[in-house]
Amino acid sequence: MVKLQINEIVKNYEVDSKTINVLDKVKFSINESESVVIVGPSGCGKTILIRIIAGLETPDSGEVILNNKKISGPDPNVMLVFQSSSLLPWRTVLENVELSLLDKEDEERRETALRYIDLVGLDGFEGSYPRELSNGMRQRVDIARALCREPEVLLMDEPFSMLDPLSANNLRNEVLRIFMDENGPIESMITITHNIEEAVIMADRILVMSQRPSRIIADVEVDLPYPRNRRGRKFNDLIDKITSLITL
């Protein structure tokens, strides 16, 4: 079943009265319970693409279709985790997570928020302020805030790039665990990264974007069982393949 369709998205920017064509008819689709990772050279428009899918930017043409319905603007079923932590400095961890549940009743809001704080491994830090947390912990709060809306599609823009390798690895595994959980909140997931190994660890499919004006130039299945063994031959072959596609 197709969950999300990205239809011929075009995005241009006007810089010094010159038009830069950033996205040139980007087109792909994502199935239910699929984890898709998008890789591409720096500056090719990955962030813009995912912000368009999240409804934060409007494309110049093309459309985003969720469950066969065109979406315009932010949709409660699509949630984006930003590249760097985006917590409000004046709210505690709990209050930050609760921010995405303001429409719920007090009781339910608190209970849901606590459950997701627990889920991302921040039990005991509900009352801390963002400035008191490490980068990794802040990113966990961001993820909890996105998850607690139980979005059908979770979008993540280089979610682990600000973390040290060890915490990145841990958090990545947690996210994968939550995603794999049959009863878990999310159905499909799009992750952006420039770390090819990360792409192979996380993806059912890897989409490769070209230089500007960018489009999808390759769509690679990753047919490996989770959790993935980083030293397998197939794993390494895939890394080589994606690397050669990007530097093409």
Partner 1 sequence: MKGRHILIFAIFIAIALFYTMGEEALMVPYYILRSLLRMTSAYILTLIFSLTFGILIAHNERAFRILFPVMDILQSIPVLGFVPFAMFFLITVFPGFGTEIVSIFLIFTSMTWAVLFNIVEGVKTIPSYIKDISKMNNIKGLNYLFHVVLPALYPPLISGSVTGWGGAWYFLVVGEYLIFADNIYILSGIGSFISKSAYSGDMVLSLLGIGVLAVVVLSINRFVWQPLLFRARKYSYGCQETYIESGESAVLALENAYREGVKEKLTKSKFFSSFFGKLFSFLGISPYSKIKKEETLSLSFLALLFIILVGLGSFIAYETSEFVEGWMVLSYSLRTIIRIIIAYLLALFWTLAVALSIARNKELLRMLMPIFDVGQSIPAVAVFPIIVVIVIQVFGGGLGIEIASVFLIMTGTQWYLLFNLIRAIRSIPGEILDLSKIMRLNTSQRLRNIIIPAIIPAIIIGSVEAIGGGLNATIVSEYIVYKDQVFYTEGLGYMMAEGAALGDSTAIILSVISMMLIVLLVNKFVWKRMLEKVERYSFGEGHG
Ligand X SMILES: Nc1ncnc2c1ncn2[C@@H]1O[C@H](COP(=O)(O)OP(=O)(O)O)[C@@H](O)[C@H]1O
Stretch in the footprint of partner 1 (CB under 8 A) among 70-78, 164-172, 183-191, 234-242: 70-78
Q: How far apart are the first and last CA of the chain?
A: 32
Could you say whether residue 128 binds Mg ion (CB under 5 A)?
no
CB neighbours of 207 closer than 8 A, spacing ≥ 6?
28, 36, 37, 38, 39, 216, 218, 219, 220
Report the nearest approach of ligand X to the CB of residue 214 (Å): 8
Report the nearest approach of Mg ion to the CB of residue 84 (Å): 10
Q: Which of Mg ion, partner 1, ligand X, none sits in contact with 48, Cβ below 5 to 8 A by type?
A: ligand X
Short-list 201, 198, 247, 248, CA closest to 222 = 201
Cis peptide before 213 (omega within 30 of 0): yes
Could you say whether residue 226 binds ligand X (CB under 6 A)?
no
Could you say whether residue 94 binds partner 1 (CB under 8 A)?
no
Three-class secondary structure of residue 70 per DSSP: strand
Three-class secondary structure of residue 145 per DSSP: helix
Distance of CA 87 to the CA centre of its chain: 17
Among positions 41-60, residues that touch partner 1 (CB under 8 A) are 54-56
Q: Which of partner 1, Mg ion, ligand X, none sits in contact with 54, Cβ below 5 to 8 A by type?
A: partner 1
Binding string, 33-62, against ligand X, x = CB under 6 A?
-------x-xxxxxxx--------------
User: Where do contacts with ligand X occur on this chain (CB under 6 A)?
Assistant: 13, 15, 22, 40, 42-48
